[in-house]
Amino acid sequence: MQFERKHAVLLLAVAAWNVVTFGNFARNLVQAAQSGEDRAAGYWIAHTVLIVVNFAIAAVLGALGWKAWRRT
């Protein structure tokens, strides 16, 4: 498959969306922890893993999108 400019834009947009939405989610999670919200440890661990995985996905998609952008 050959990437076109529209594919690059889509990949970069999804990567940016992941960073913005999960960045906000991470900020809210940190604020909840600092305010002393009482949750089970599994809650904090699961949500932290979700955030880290989505940032990794954003990095991969962003790298692919950037490569496709430069090639087109």
pLDDT digit string, tens, across residues 7-65: 999 999 999 999 999 999 999 999 999 999 999 999 999 999 999 999 999 999 999 99
Nearest CA to 65 out of 24, 16, 1 is that of: 16
Q: In Å, how far from its chain's centre is CA 9?
A: 16
d(CA 64, CA 56): 12
In the predicted model, what is the mean pLDDT of the chain?
A: 96
Domain, as residue range, for 30: 5-71
pTM for this entry = 0.89
Structural domains in the chain (count):
1
Q: What is the pLDDT of residue 14?
A: 98
Q: What is the pLDDT of residue 19?
A: 98
Q: What is the pLDDT of residue 3?
A: 87
d(CA 39, CA 11): 35
d(CA 19, CA 38): 27
Quickly tell me which residue has 């990949």 as its tokens: 11
Q: What is the pLDDT of residue 2?
A: 87
